[in-house]
């Protein structure tokens, strides 16, 4: 798998989707372990791929002396060390065959040592890298309890208690929130904002937004714009009109005007 694909799979968005499915009953509570695993790797990728100052994800910002990158990498290094992969079919430990786990440990150690060296040079101190740090850490943690990850079997988790269309409804709510955010950027109106934004976890349709949000200490959805149910229903209806009408008017001039005329005014 390419790294860019791995970062998309082992990402905060996937973790949020898993937690949504667990909370909505699509997956069992035990699947939270998978969500936790994804979250750990997402943090690792963020620490090793800092790219911008303007992001709500602290570990994705540049590394500084006061940031939590070093502590996060230490914690994630210990996490990776404890991973143990079992082939369920043969009941055999296959951890050693996964070279990526050892390589990831080396990358984390190297990054931390490089940062220590940079800091030492910056402070006009002699930087000394302990070449035996890897072997020392392995000895110290050789008795650590491994984390077991077994092959996931094909199981149907659906039950009669699961709300219908949970996944699609959450996706629609999330997209509607994005559309509302862009509209409010073009049309600043406090009255509209108050009427169309509803920052309350009062529906299972908002689970994805809830778990997807960053910096939730001040409000449950962080910086995400969560739409009112009425707006979601309106946009869903507009989408349905578009799907039904588009095939019949695709070859006619003025498609945009025709589509707009078919969509009722929002009230």
> 82 is in which domain, residue-wise?
3-123
pLDDT value of residue 107 = 93
pLDDT value of residue 35 = 93
Q: Is residue 267 included in any domain, yes or no?
A: no
pLDDT value of residue 161 = 52
pLDDT value of residue 15 = 94
Query: Does 103 share its domain with 196?
Result: no
pLDDT band for position 128 (cuts 50, 70, 90): very low
Query: Does 15 share its domain with 81?
Result: yes
Query: Does 31 share its domain with 107?
Result: yes
pLDDT, tens digit, 9 for 90 and up, residues 14-45: 999 999 999 988 888 889 999 999 999 999 99
| Residue 133 in this model has a pLDDT that exceeds 70 | no
pLDDT value of residue 152 = 44
Q: How far apart are CA 22 and CA 170, in angstroms?
A: 13
Q: Is residue 101 included in any domain, yes or no?
A: yes
Q: Is residue 240 included in any domain, yes or no?
A: no
Query: Does 107 share its domain with 171?
Result: no
| Residue 73 in this model has a pLDDT that exceeds 90 | yes
Q: Is residue 257 included in any domain, yes or no?
A: no
Query: Does 116 share its domain with 174?
Result: no
Q: What does DSSP say about strands 83-87 and 147-150: parallel, antiparallel, or unpaired?
A: parallel
pLDDT value of residue 140 = 55
Query: Does 172 share its domain with 91?
Result: no
Give the percent of the chain with pLDDT over 90: 33
pLDDT value of residue 172 = 93
Q: Is residue 131 included in any domain, yes or no?
A: no
Residue 84's SS3 state is strand
pLDDT value of residue 160 = 45
Q: How far apart are CA 42 and CA 10, in angstroms?
A: 6
Q: Is residue 144 included in any domain, yes or no?
A: no
Tokens matching residue 73: 């990498």
pLDDT, tens digit, 9 for 90 and up, residues 139-180: 555 555 555 544 444 444 444 455 668 889 999 999 999 999
pLDDT, tens digit, 9 for 90 and up, residues 78-123: 999 999 988 888 889 998 888 888 999 999 999 999 988 888 877 7
Query: Does 36 share its domain with 118?
Result: yes
Number of domains comprising the chain? 2
Q: In what side-by-side order are the strands of the sheet with 92-93?
A: 92-93, 83-87, 147-150
Tokens matching residue 248: 């019949």
What average pLDDT does the segment 58-72 reach?
90
pLDDT, tens digit, 9 for 90 and up, residues 182-225: 999 998 888 888 899 988 888 889 999 989 888 766 778 888 89
DSSP string computed for 129-189: --TTHHHHHHHHTTTSPPEEEEPPP------TTSPTTHHHHHHHHHHHHHHHHHHHHHS--
| Residue 6 in this model has a pLDDT that exceeds 70 | yes
- Cα–Cα distances in angstroms (integers) from residue 191 to residues 6, 143, 184, 197, in the given order: 43, 61, 11, 10
């Amino acid at each position: 798998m390419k790294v860019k694909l791995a970062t998309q799979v082992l990402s905060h968005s996937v973790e949020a989707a898993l937690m949504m499915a667990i909370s909505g009953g699509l997956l069992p509570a035990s699947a939270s372990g998978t969500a936790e695993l994804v979250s750990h790797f997402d943090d690792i990728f963020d620490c090793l791929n800092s790219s911008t100052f303007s992001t709500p994800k602290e570990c994705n910002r540049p590394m500084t002396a006061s940031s939590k990158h070093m502590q996060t990498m230490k914690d994630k290094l210990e996490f990776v060390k404890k991973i143990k992969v079992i082939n369920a079919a043969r009941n055999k430990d296959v951890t050693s065959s996964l070279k990526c786990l050892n390589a990831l440990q080396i990358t984390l150690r190297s990054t931390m040592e490089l940062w220590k060296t940079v800091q030492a040079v910056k402070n006009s101190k002699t930087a000394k890298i302990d070449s035996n740090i890897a072997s020392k850490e392995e000895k110290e943690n050789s008795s650590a309890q491994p984390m077991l990850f077994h092959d996931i079997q094909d199981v149907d988790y659906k039950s009669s208690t699961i709300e219908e269309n949970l996944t699609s409804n959450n996706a629609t709510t999330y997209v509607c929130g994005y559309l509302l955010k862009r509209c409010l950027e073009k049309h600043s109106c406090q009255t509209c904002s108050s009427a169309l934004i509803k920052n309350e976890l009062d529906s299972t349709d908002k689970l994805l937004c809830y778990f997807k949000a960053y910096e939730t200490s001040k409000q449950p959805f962080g910086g995400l714009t969560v739409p009112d149910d009425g707006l979601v229903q309106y946009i869903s209806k507009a989408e349905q009109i578009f799907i039904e009408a588009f095939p019949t008017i695709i070859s006619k001039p003025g498609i945009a005007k025709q589509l707009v005329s078919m969509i009722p005014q929002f009230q």
